[in-house]
Amino acid sequence: MGTPLEAWHEIVRTRDGAALESLLDDDVIFESPVVHTPQLGKRVTSLYLRAALALLNNEKFRYDNEWPGPSSAVLEFVTEVDGITINGVDIISWNEAGKITHFKVMVRPLKAINILHQKMGELLAARSPV
């Protein structure tokens, strides 16, 4: 296994849900582009990240730029959903065990947030255990 960052890129390439689970710390925090309140824990973070990957990780998706630090990194991406360009960053932090402890996403412009809000809502409603 490589660095957490390499593992993340591999998950984006392979869409491997089990690899995603094993990369997330049990107490990982997810912060969405839409909602202020952080989401706590592996179950809900995994749910959000799978929905986000299902929506954004299409044939238009690419990482454009990367700013790595010792225990965190910023990855800038561009993709397109329903003809709307979505430009965003993943801010990913990890611990010494190589597990992701914090995953934050921001996107621009306003149209991109709005479509993400709508589509993520639909996806999460369909996937959530009721």
Q: Which two tokens stand for residue 40?
A: 């706590």
Q: Which residue lies nearer to its own copies by CB, 25 or 31? A: 31
* 73 belongs to the binding site for its own copies (CB under 8 A): yes
Candidates 76, 78, 99, 124: give the one binding its own copies (CB under 8 A): 76
Q: Using the Cα atoms of residue 129, residue 12, residue 90 and residue 1 in order, give the sign of their dihedral.
A: positive
Give 19 or 61: the residue with its C-beta nearer to its own copies. Answer: 61
Cβ–Cβ under 8 Å, residues 81 and 58: yes
For residue 72, give the 3-state DSSP assignment.
strand
Kindly state whether residue 110 participates in binding its own copies, applying the rule CB under 8 A: yes
Does 5 bind its own copies (CB under 8 A)? Our answer is: no
Strand partners, 74: 67, 91
Of the candidate spans 2-10, 29-37, 41-49, 54-62, the one that interacts with its own copies by CB under 8 A turns out to be 29-37
d(CA 117, CA 84): 13
State the helix-helix crossing angle for 42-56 and 110-127, rounded to 10 degrees. 120
Residue selected from 43, 111, 121, 125 as contacting its own copies according to rule CB under 8 A: 111
Contacts with its own copies by CB under 8 A lie at 31-36, 65, 67-69, 72-74, 76, 85, 87-89, 91, 104-114, 117
